[in-house]
Amino acid sequence: MNYKRVCCLWLIFIYLFTFIFLSGCWNYREIEDLSIVTGAAVDKEDDQFRLTVEIVNIEGGSNAKVASSIITSYGATMFEASRNAINILGKRLYWSHTTLIVLSEQIAKEGLVPVLDWLARDPEIRQTLNIVVSKEKTAHEIFHLPHPVFNVISFDLDNIFQNQGSVSKTPDGEEWKVLKNLATPGLDLVLPVALLFMSEGQLIPTFSGTAVFKKDRLKGYLSPDETRIFMFIKDEIKTGLLTNNVIQEDVPVKVTLEIIDNKTKMKPVIKGENIVMRISTITNVSIAEIEGRALDTGEEGSMELAGQFEDMLQEDIKNLVMHVQKEFGCDIFGFGNAIRMEYPDVWKEIESDWDRLFQSIEVVTESQVHIENTALSSKPIIVRD
Amino acid sequence: MFKGKEPMSNEQEKVTGTEDFQSSTVADPYDLMKPLSTSIDENINRMKDTLKGDNTVIYRWMGNKHMDSFRACLVFIYGMVDNEDINDNLVTPIMQADLSELPQDTFLERVMNTIINNMDVKRCLYMDTVLQSLFQGETLLFIDGQEQALIIRSKALLLRQITEPEFEKVMEGPREGFNEYLAVNLSLVRRKLKSPDLKFKFKVLGRHSRTNVCLCYMETLVNDKVLGELENRLDKIDVDAMTGSNVIAENIKDAPLSVFATIGSTERPDVVVSKVMEGRIVLIIDGTSKALWLPFIFLENFHTAEDYYTEFYFSSINRLLRIISAAITVTAPAVYLAALTYHQEMIPTTLLVSIYSARQGVPFPAVLEVLLLMFSFDLVREASARIPSAMGQSLSIVGTLILGQAAVEAKFFSSLVVIIAALTGITGLMVPKLKGVYIIIRTLLILVTSILGLYGFAFGIIVLFIHLFSIRSLGVPYMMGIGSIKPEDIKDTVVRAPWWYMNTRPKMFMGKESRRQSMDSRKGKSRL
């Protein structure tokens, strides 16, 4: 046996040995030994985390039905609570398919970081998971009631998020965005709000409105309608509805427009000592509904209609900004960030005093609404005597 | 005269019969090399001595009506000759003709040229040549006083019909296939290629079987180096019996331990013609209907004769389907296993939940489940290949009912793994030539995946490709045509280009003449 060949064999042996025994991810696990967590709620009880998880459960024999079970475990930290669930289930919690985590109001008020760190650090948890604040007394009650339609509540709630584009009344709460927002100067965090909603005599979990944060602590809430305006300002609106009472011959007529697309520009303008935020929106819409007769939807009529909506939008934006400035004093719109981008030197000067400055900042709005079409009807319904 | 000889030969057999155990069945080669003698008795005794124990050899002694001193003996093998032909054209003329008038000095020649009524008569001086002719079904004529024997063609052609090959069926295109008789096979090729360039070169292989192997090639197209190399390799083969084409294939393969076949095989004369026209060499072997061709590249595994007879879009789609199915059949169980046991986050949630529910209560770990099901699928496959067709039905009942349904209902296997096995099985049958390769690679991939997940899977695939890219077929890279983006290199690989585009032969096999047709071959139809 020559020298080369021996060397070659040794190399192959070392190679195989290292790649089999020293490789990083040795995690063979059978799927049935896991419990798949679809959603979780976190509460705090006497300095302990109360982790309530919804896990997939299979009911029935040959015609197996997918259902969910709710399990509660306690722990001093999130991870400990997660591992303590083994004592109840006999299986490890598997977090890779978790779609949302509901935090109690108390945790949100005390600060998100103790919860967020584990979510960001654990390799199983997806960065696209939604973080939600519960407006109810506790977070776990979101999961506790049987849902009339869905077996797995988290999947239903996730669907609400997936289709939020055509409602635009709940902001995004994806973990990676939350972490990014927290780290951005001149921008405060918002999270979606979960609550129970009475429908057909039954309480159903749903999302509604926005939770406003200062740093990582909860300050207050915005209503669903305010949320929509908020998303207008943030240029996050995709589609959605605009409803307004249009005065037609002294009679108010309810008109609904469907947003096709929207573009919002936020531009800080420095006027002497003052900083003015100019918010301009350009919205393309189509007429979705007119609850009245004889409204002109021709060229002139449309212009007038659009003008009334433009006024409404400008008013709403101004009101919301004022409301947030007075009520919370949190820069959830990212005005500070806009200044930082546009005038970095100015930002350096005002950064330390920004919390105070924000409350007095002036907003100038400019809105354009273009009615692109009137859907299937070119005229309102004609009713003759 | 006959009676006097018969007991003597019997006695001789008895005497020599006792030595049968000691002496080897092969006659002494030096003895066979000796020339024949002028004495017919001595020659016949030598033959009987050599062929003792073989009772199919018939010795027919003959005299002549007009010449008393004439003694002759016909030797042939019963069943290999055409009896009527011998009766009418050999026995009758020799017995009836007036041989006494023939001059003594050119007696044999005159018998050969004027008496024997046969198209192919040869003279022969040596015992071994005589024996070879005898074994090929020819008739020998020994005449007393002549030191040469006559070899007379009298083969009875007991052939299998020329039928369509079972494994290479086409919907359009010729339906003839080779049978086991070399001469017929060569004639099928020659009929399709009427060019003086087409050469048939014979070699005799096999110590005992003495099998004729024919190298077919186009003299102006073949690469002489490749041809020389092939002949060298063939000459080195030393087997005692050439029982089939695979004996040659395994003996001359470039990578003898590789699971991949680096030599093509076909039963279709039209395929042979097309390969020969690309400058390759085809081996047609007596006694088997499978012809071999070299060099052979990997992608040819996915080609069928049909591809060239159907419209080029359709045949390209079919080729792609075959390649995709090969990828699926090799990787599907391993990827399933990797996702299920290592990368659960990779599976869409709804699918994960349904797998999760199917896996509840299954006793085996996922690896064992996959391996067992693959194993049982191969059991059914091999059993159905071996089983007489009359019993096939019971097999399919057992296979489908017990393995498919009952096993899932009894929670022996989860239903998803049965789906994976079915997918693997169906895609694996698409290219029957590769089924052995599939089993081996698939199993290896399952094993590495079970140890290391997708990482192991990727590792396995890399090793597979390194192997594929390192082997050669008669000096030509096995993966030729893969990795090139030049249209002329891929015109007949993963896809099939239209005939009017295939103007040049593949470069790698090319010997001398690369142009296949005029560059303007479309002229015929495009200029109306």
Whether the Cβ atoms of residue A242 and residue A250 lie closer than 8 Å to each other: no
Query: What is the C-alpha to C-alpha distance for residues B386 and B332, in angstroms, rounded to an integer?
Result: 27
Last residue of a domain, one of B152, B170, B201: B152
Query: Cα separation of B355 and B337, whole Å?
Result: 12
By CA distance, what is B409's nearest residue in A?
A62
Paired residues of B294 in beta bridges:
B281
Nearest CA to CA, how far is A208 from chain B (Å)?
A: 25
Enter the tokens of residue B480.
């030729």
Mean pLDDT lowest among A28-37, A100-109, A120-129, B306-315: A28-37
Tell me how close the Cα of B456 comes to any Cα of chain A, in angstroms.
Answer: 9
Question: Is the Cβ–Cβ distance between A84 and A172 less than 8 Å?
Answer: no
Find out whether A152 and A67 touch, Cβ atoms under 8 Å: yes
- Backbone angles phi and psi of B259, in degrees to 5: -80, -15
The nearest CA of chain B is from the CA of A86 a distance in Å of 18
Q: Which of A20, A28, A56 sits opposite B342 (nearest CB)?
A: A28
Per-residue pLDDT of chain B (528 residues; tens, 9 = 90+): 334 334 444 444 433 433 444 444 445 556 777 888 888 998 898 888 888 888 899 999 999 888 888 899 999 998 888 888 888 888 999 998 888 888 888 888 888 888 888 888 888 888 888 888 888 888 999 998 888 899 998 877 777 888 888 888 888 889 999 999 898 999 999 999 999 999 999 999 988 888 999 999 998 888 888 899 999 999 999 999 988 899 999 999 988 899 999 999 999 999 999 999 888 999 999 989 999 998 898 999 999 998 999 999 999 999 999 999 999 999 999 999 999 998 888 888 888 888 888 888 888 888 899 999 899 888 888 888 888 877 777 877 777 777 777 877 788 888 888 889 889 989 998 888 898 999 999 999 999 998 888 888 999 999 999 999 999 988 888 988 787 777 777 788 888 888 888 877 777 666 666 777 766 655 555 544
CB contact under 8 A, B357 and A64: yes
Choose the closest CB to B340 out of A19, A31, A96: A31
Residues B62 and B194 in one domain: no
Is residue A92 within 8 Å of A34, Cβ to Cβ? yes
Write the residue in B345, B409, B455 that is nearest to A23 by C-beta.
Answer: B455
Q: Which of B438, B454, B476 is the last residue of a domain?
A: B476
Residue of A nearest to B415 (CA): A62
In a domain, B71, yes or no: yes
Cα–Cα distance for residue pair B383/B130, rounded to 1 Å: 46
Interface with A, mutate which of B356, B415, B462 (most A CBs under 10 A):
B356
CB spacing of A66 vs B357 below 8 angstroms: yes
- Which pairs with CB-CB distance under 8 Å and at least 24 residues apart come from B348-351? B349/A36, B349/A38, B349/A97, B349/A99, B349/A155
Same domain as B323, residue B464: yes
Last residue in a domain, options B152, B171, B190:
B152
B179 C-beta neighbours (distance < 10 Å), count = 17
Taking the C-alpha atoms of residue B438 and residue B325, their distance in angstroms, rounded to an integer, is 11
User: Are A62 and B409 in contact (CB < 8 Å)?
Assistant: yes
Judgement on whether residues B264 and B375 belong to the same structural domain of the protein: no
Q: Please count the other Cβ atoms lying within 10 Å of the Cβ belonging to residue B495.
A: 15
Least Cα distance to B340 among B329, B351, B324 occurs for B351
Torsional sign, CA B258, B259, B262, B267 = positive
Q: Give residue A192's pLDDT.
A: 92
Range with the poorest average pLDDT among A7-16, A177-186, B332-341, B508-517 = B508-517
Q: How many CB pairs (< 8 A) connect A and B? A: 64
* A202-225: pLDDT as tens digits: 888 888 889 999 988 999 999 988
- Quick check: B353 and A56 CB within 8 A? yes
**Phi, psi at B395, each rounded to 5°:** -65, -45
CB atoms within 10 A of CB B172: 11
Q: How far apart are CA A249 and CA A252, in angstroms?
A: 8
Asked casually if ipTM beats, i.e. exceeds, 0.85, the reply is no
Report the Cα A316 to chain-centroid distance in Å: 21
Residue-number span of the structural domain to which B78 is assigned? 2-152
For A274-298, how does the pLDDT look when each residue is reduced to its tens digit (9 = 90+)? 889 999 999 999 888 888 766 666 7
Instruction: Classify residue B486: in a domain, yes or no.
Output: no
Using DSSP, state whether A164 is helix, strand or coil.
helix
> Do B272 and B405 share a domain, yes or no?
no
Residue B513: both structure tokens together: 């003449």
Mean pLDDT of A351-357: 88
pLDDT score of B22: 40
Type and span of the H or E element at B32? helix B29-33
β-bridge pairing A100-103 and A130-134: parallel
User: Which residues on chain B place their C-beta less than 8 Å from a C-beta of chain A?
Assistant: 340-342, 344-345, 349, 352-360, 362, 365-366, 409, 450-453, 455, 459
Whether B341 sits inside 8 A of A20 (CB atoms) is: no
CA distance B167 to A301: 76
Contact A56 B455 (CB under 8 A): no
Query: Is the domain of B196 the same as that of B282?
Result: yes
Buried b (16+ CB within 10 A) or exposed e, A268-296: beeeeeebebebebebbbebeebebeebe
Assigned domain for B338 exists? yes
A378 Cβ contact list (under 8 Å, min separation 6): A297
Q: Three-state secondary structure along B106-137?
A: CHHHHHHHHHCCCCCEEEECEHHHHHHHHHCC
Assess contact for B96 and B65: CB atoms under 8 A: yes
Q: Check CB contact under 8 Å for B352 and A28.
A: no
Q: Would B503 be classed as within a structural domain? A: no
**Judgement on whether residues B320 and B456 belong to the same structural domain of the protein:** yes
> What is the per-residue pLDDT for B7?
40
| Unique residue bearing structure tokens 């020298």 | A3
pLDDT number for residue A204:
87
Q: Distance between CA B370 and CA B331 in Å, rounded?
A: 12
Name the helix (H) or strand (E) containing A102. Answer: strand A100-103
In a domain, B516, yes or no: no
Out of B345, B360, B450, closest to residue A32 by CB: B360
Nearest CB to A94 within list B340, B344, B358 = B344
Rounded to the nearest angstrom, the minimum Cα separation between A287 and chain B is: 38
pLDDT of residue B97: 87
Which residues, listed in sequence order, are joined to residue A174 by a DSSP beta bridge?
A130
Contact: B344, A19; criterion CB under 8 Å? no
- A-chain residues near B352 (CB < 8 A): 31, 36, 97
Cα gap B365→A209, rounded to integer Å: 47
Which of B309, B263, B319, B344 is closest to B431 using CA atoms? B319
Structurally, chain B folds into a number of domains equal to 3
Distance between CA B326 and CA B313 in Å, rounded? 20
- Inside any domain, residue B19: yes
Among B74, B89, B60, B75, smallest CA distance to B1 is for B60
Cα first-last separation, chain B: 82
Q: Which of A25, A30, A96 sits opposite B455 (nearest CB)?
A: A25
Tell whether B471 and B331 lie within a shared domain: yes
Rounded-to-10 torsion of CA B416, B420, B425, B427: 140
**Are A262 and A284 within 8 A, CB to CB?**
yes
Report if residue B510 sits inside a domain.
no
Q: Which residues of A touch B (CB under 8 A)?
A: 19-20, 23, 25, 27-32, 34, 36, 38, 56, 58, 62, 64, 66, 94, 96-97, 99, 124, 126, 155
Q: Which residue has the tokens 């591992």?
A: A83
Name the closest residue on chain A to residue B346, using Cα atoms: A96
User: Would B415 be classed as within a structural domain?
Assistant: yes
Q: How many C-beta atoms surround the C-beta of residue A261 within 10 A?
A: 12
pLDDT of residue A26: 59
Does B195 lie in the same domain as B132? Answer: no
DSSP code of residue B99: G
CB contact under 8 A, A58 and B362: no
Q: Could you tell me if B380 and B392 are in contact, meaning their C-beta atoms sit under 8 angstroms apart?
A: no
Q: Are residues B382 and B246 in the same domain?
A: no
CA distances B281 to A360, B262, B471, B489, Å, are 91, 13, 19, 20
Do B280 and B235 belong to one domain? yes
Sheet holding B149-152, edge to edge: B57-62, B72-77, B139-143, B149-152, B121-124
Q: Where are the alpha helices (DSSP H) in chain A?
A: 3-21, 78-84, 86-89, 105-110, 113-121, 141-144, 153-162, 175-183, 224-233, 299-327, 335-342, 344-350, 354-359
Cβ atoms B500, B522 nearer than 8 A: yes
B315, B306 Cβ separation under 8 angstroms: yes
| Cross-chain Cβ contact B459/A29 below 8 Å | no
Sheet with strand A362-373: strands edge to edge: A240-248, A251-271, A274-290, A362-373
Q: Which of A30, A64, A155 shows the shortest C-beta gap to B341?
A: A30
Which backbone phi and psi does B204 adopt, to 5 degrees?
A: -110, 120
Q: What is the mean pLDDT of chain A?
A: 86
**Residue positions counted in chain B:** 528
Let me know whether B290 and B347 are in one domain.
no
Decide if B451 and A126 are in contact by the 8 Å CB cutoff.
no
- Rounded CA-CA distance B388/B382 in Å is 12
CB distance B352–A19 less than 8 Å? no
- A29, A66, A96: residue with CB nearest B341: A29
Cβ–Cβ < 8 Å for A62, A68: no
**For tokens 């290592």, what's the residue?**
B342
Tell me whether residue A53 is exposed, middle or buried, using C-beta atoms within 10 angstroms of its C-beta: 0 to 12, 13 to 18, 19 or more. Answer: buried
Residue B349 and residue B262 in one domain = no
B452 CB neighbours in chain A (<8 A) are 19-20, 23
Query: Which stretches within B342-365 are classed as H helix?
Result: 349-359
Name the CA radius of gyration of chain B, rounded. 31
Residues of B in contact with A38 (CB under 8 A): 349
Task: Nearest by CB to A30, from B349, B365, B451: name it.
Answer: B365
**Residues B132, A279: Cα–Cα separation, whole Å:** 104
pLDDT of residue B420: 92
Residues recorded for chain A: 385
> A157 vs chain B: nearest CA distance in angstroms?
14
Q: Give yes or no for a cis peptide into B295 (omega within 30° of 0).
A: yes
**What are the chain A neighbours of B353 within 8 Å (beta carbons)?**
36, 56, 66
With beta carbons less than 8 A apart as the criterion, state whether A223 and A209 touch. Answer: yes
- Please state, in angstroms and rounded to a whole number, the distance separating the CA atoms of residues A305 and A303: 5
Shortest distance between the Cα of A190 and any Cα of chain B, in A, equals 27
